[in-house]
């Protein structure tokens, strides 16, 4: 009898310490569109991630020589496209040195797998079209550098011109440049903006005046810090978690979103919570 009572008490304690109903509210964010199973920063990867349980795709936004907006992480094209074969004399192959028409000639899928041959570098408009067509929401990281002047204004203009594709859906903007994040908030007050970094607790009050959240690495992240961010009405996104034990730990900590290269694993952990 006493042994049975001990088992009952142990189970009760476990249930009491688990975060009730926390998991279903955690955003499953496919990092770079879902870089574990598809060519990063492509629509094909994001579509696959949606099938694997992602409710958002994280993409990096840069601008071309003719000031068009494309989705690519690096400032150069050679790691994730066949630019060296198509334009062998254009080193160092910076995104900002090519027009959109030139970039459209590139293959951004074959380096990952032959089944993605012909997958192109997408534009921001294509990502919005995919979301508007029922695809996952978007967490867009705006890349700032001296070779991307005016990119915030162009992102804002693109979003304003395509309001029908994102109104009522999950759309978030983020950047390392906190002043730019504030500017984006002023230009697009309807769109939540997030700062990338780990602000001190004393900075949270000011940030909460315009930012709806923080994106930061999972290393060193604690439940206490997350609670202090939540006290300011802000969300916590973390990157990049691919292992199931880590995913479970972050959910238990109370994060609001997990960036992952393998969204099926986040989905599996949430489903079994």
User: According to the 3-state scheme, what is the secondary structure of 254-269?
Assistant: CCCEEEECCHHHHHHH
Separation CA 140–CA 158 (nearest Å): 13
User: Considering 73, 144, 185, 230, which one is annotated as catalytic?
Assistant: 73
**Token digits of residue 65:** 């020589």
Q: How far is CA 216 from CA 68, 173, 175, 255, in A?
A: 28, 14, 11, 11
> Residue 171's beta-bridge partner residues?
138
Q: Catalytic: 73? A: yes
pLDDT, one tens digit per residue, over 193-237 is 999 999 999 999 999 999 999 999 999 999 999 999 999 999 999
Q: Is 220 left (phi over 0), alpha (psi -120 to 50) or beta?
A: left
pLDDT, one tens digit per residue, over 88-97 is 999 999 999 9
- Classify burial at 41, counting beta carbons within 10 Å of its beta carbon; exposed 0-12, middle 13-18, buried 19 or more: buried
The distance in angstroms from the start CA to the end CA of the chain is 30
Separation CA 44–CA 107 (nearest Å): 13
Separation CA 23–CA 180 (nearest Å): 32
Is the distance from CB of 208 to CB of 232 less than 8 angstroms? yes
What DSSP character marks residue 149?
Answer: T
Separation CA 37–CA 127 (nearest Å): 18
C-alpha R_g of the chain: 20
Reported as a pLDDT band with limits 50, 70 and 90, residue 24 is low
Quick check: 270 pLDDT over 80?
Answer: yes
Reported as a pLDDT band with limits 50, 70 and 90, residue 145 is confident
pLDDT, one tens digit per residue, over 52-97 is 999 999 999 999 999 999 999 999 999 999 999 999 999 999 999 9
Q: What is the mean pLDDT of residues 97-110?
A: 98
Separation CA 223–CA 211 (nearest Å): 20
Separation CA 14–CA 93 (nearest Å): 55
Reported as a pLDDT band with limits 50, 70 and 90, residue 127 is very high
Closest CA to 42 of 106, 108, 94, 98: 108
Q: Catalytic: 31? A: yes
């Amino acid at each position: 009898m006493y042994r049975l009572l001990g088992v009952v008490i142990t189970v009760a304690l476990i249930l009491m310490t688990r975060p009730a109903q926390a998991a279903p509210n955690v955003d499953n964010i496919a990092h770079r569109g879902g870089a574990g199973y598809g060519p990063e920063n492509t629509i094909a990867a994001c579509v696959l991630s949606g099938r694997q349980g992602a409710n958002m795709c994280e993409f990096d936004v840069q601008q071309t020589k003719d000031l068009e907006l494309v989705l690519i992480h690096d400032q150069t094209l050679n790691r994730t496209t066949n630019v060296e074969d198509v334009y062998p004399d254009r080193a160092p192959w910076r995104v900002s040195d090519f027009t959109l028409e030139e970039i459209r000639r590139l293959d951004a899928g074959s380096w990952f797998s032959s089944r993605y041959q012909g997958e192109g570098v997408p534009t921001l408009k294509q990502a919005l079209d995919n979301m508007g067509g029922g695809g996952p929401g978007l967490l867009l990281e705006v890349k700032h550098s001296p070779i991307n002047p005016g990119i915030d204004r162009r992102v804002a203009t693109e979003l304003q011109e395509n309001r029908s594709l994102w109104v009522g859906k999950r759309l978030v903007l983020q950047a390392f440049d906190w002043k730019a994040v504030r500017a984006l908030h002023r230009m697009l007050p309807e769109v939540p903006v997030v700062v990338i970094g780990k602000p001190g607790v004393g900075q949270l009050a000011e940030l909460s005046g315009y930012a709806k959240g923080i994106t930061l690495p999972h290393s060193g992240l604690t439940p206490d810090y997350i609670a202090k961010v939540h006290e300011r009405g802000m969300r916590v996104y973390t990157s990049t978690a691919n292992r199931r034990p880590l995913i479970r730990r972050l959910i238990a900590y109370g994060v609001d979103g997990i960036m992952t290269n393998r969204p099926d694993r986040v989905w599996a952990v949430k489903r079994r919570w």
